[in-house]
Amino acid sequence: MHRDPRERLWDLDRAIVCLVLHERRIRVLLAKVGLDGHDRGLRVVARILRDAGFEVIFAGLRQTPEMIVAAATQEDVDVVGVSMHNGAHLTLAPAVVHALRDAGLSTPVVVGGIVPDVDMPRMKAEGVAVVLGPGASNEEVITAVRAVVDVATGTAAEP
C-alpha cells in the first residue's frame, strides 16, 4: 500500500521538528569581569565556538557578576565563559559562580586566561567547572565547553 506523498511530507516535517528540538545549539555567554581590558583572547574564543556551531552571546568588557547573572538569565545560556588576565581570578571567578547560584542558576562557569596551576584546585573548589590556560587548542576549548554542558544536563560524567 502506497502512502499519499503529502503524508510522507508531513512525517518529514515532524522529524525535522523533533531533530531541531533535540539538537538545540549550545548557548554560551562570554564576558570579561572587572577592569581587565584584554579581550583579544575572548574574541578568539567567541569565533572558535561560533565556528563550531555554538550560539555565542558576547557581553564584552567590564562586566560585574550581577551583570553576568542578568545576561545569563535573559539569554537562557547553557554555560558562562569568563576570561581572566588581571590576577583577580581567585576573587572574580568565584564571585561570578556565587552570583549565579544566589540567583538560583546552576549554569556552569568556564574560566580561560592566565591562571597559575597552583590556583586551579581552589577555583574548582569554588565552583568553576573548567579552567583553560593560555595555548588551549580550539579542540580543547570546544571539548571543554561541550563537556561541562553535558555534565550540567546530566548526559555525561564529570570532566
Domains in the chain, CATH or no CATH each: 25-152 (3.40.50.280)
List the alpha helices (DSSP H) in 1-112.
Answer: 5-22, 40-51, 65-75, 89-102
**Positions in the chain short of pLDDT 70:** 1-23, 156-159
Looking at residue 17, what is its pLDDT?
45
Looking at residue 18, what is its pLDDT?
41
Rounded to two decimals, the pTM is 0.82
Element (H, E) at 151: helix 138-152
What's the CA gap between 35 and 33, in Å, rounded? 7
Instruction: Return contacts of 47-50, CB within 8 angstroms, 24+ apart.
Output: 48/138, 48/141, 48/142, 49/141, 49/142, 49/145
Looking at residue 86, what is its pLDDT?
83
Residue at 32: amino acid letter:
K
Looking at residue 1, what is its pLDDT?
54
Q: Based on the number of CB atoms within 10 Å of its own CB, is 20 exposed (0-12), middle (13-18) or buried (19 or more)?
A: exposed
Is residue 126 a contact partner of residue 120, using CB atoms and an 8 Å limit? Answer: no
Strand order from edge to edge, sheet including 109-113: 55-63, 27-33, 79-84, 109-113, 130-132
